Amino acid sequence: GEDVEQSLFLSVREGDSSVINCTYTDSSSTYLYWYKQEPGAGLQLLTYIFSNMDMKQDQRLTVLLNKKDKHLSLRIADTQTGDSAIYFCAETLYNQGGKLIFGQGTELSVKP
């Protein structure tokens, strides 16, 4: 079945790198996404990766995809207090009309 899992909490110090991990079960994933949600707000798309890619880098964000292990990670370099939020990974499956399947979300806390 479709299942996306994330660890619930991560705490880092300002300036350190953060790595948020996600695992998924369905091998028919087409795209995998990372969204950021601040309190009381909607979801902001951070980045996405096509399922046949291994890595994607966009400024401070690096996405790594290990398709064999069905493991996705998001690395945030030089983490700032403004990065404190909940981060959701999500996948879309082939031929599902764009329906997103979300993980539980990882709450990132950045301490000064």
Partner 1 sequence: GAVVSQHPSRVICKSGTSVKIECRSLDFQATTMFWYRQFPKQSLMLMATSNEGSKATYEQGVEKDKFLINHASLTLSTLTVTSAHPEDSSFYICSAPAGGLGDTQYFGPGTRLTVL
Interface with partner 1 (CB under 8 A)? 31, 33, 35, 40-45, 48, 50, 88, 92, 97-100, 102-105
- Main-chain phi, psi angles of 77, to 5 degrees: -80, 150
CB of 108 to partner 1, least distance (A): 14
CB of 42 to partner 1, least distance (A): 4
d(CA 94, CA 75): 26
* Residue closer to partner 1, measured from CB, 82 or 97: 97
Query: What length is written for the chain?
Result: 112
Check the CA dihedral 51-55-57-62 and report its sign. Answer: positive
d(CA 46, CA 74): 10
CB of 22 to partner 1, least distance (A): 12
* Residue closer to partner 1, measured from CB, 14 or 26: 26
* Residue closer to partner 1, measured from CB, 18 or 34: 34
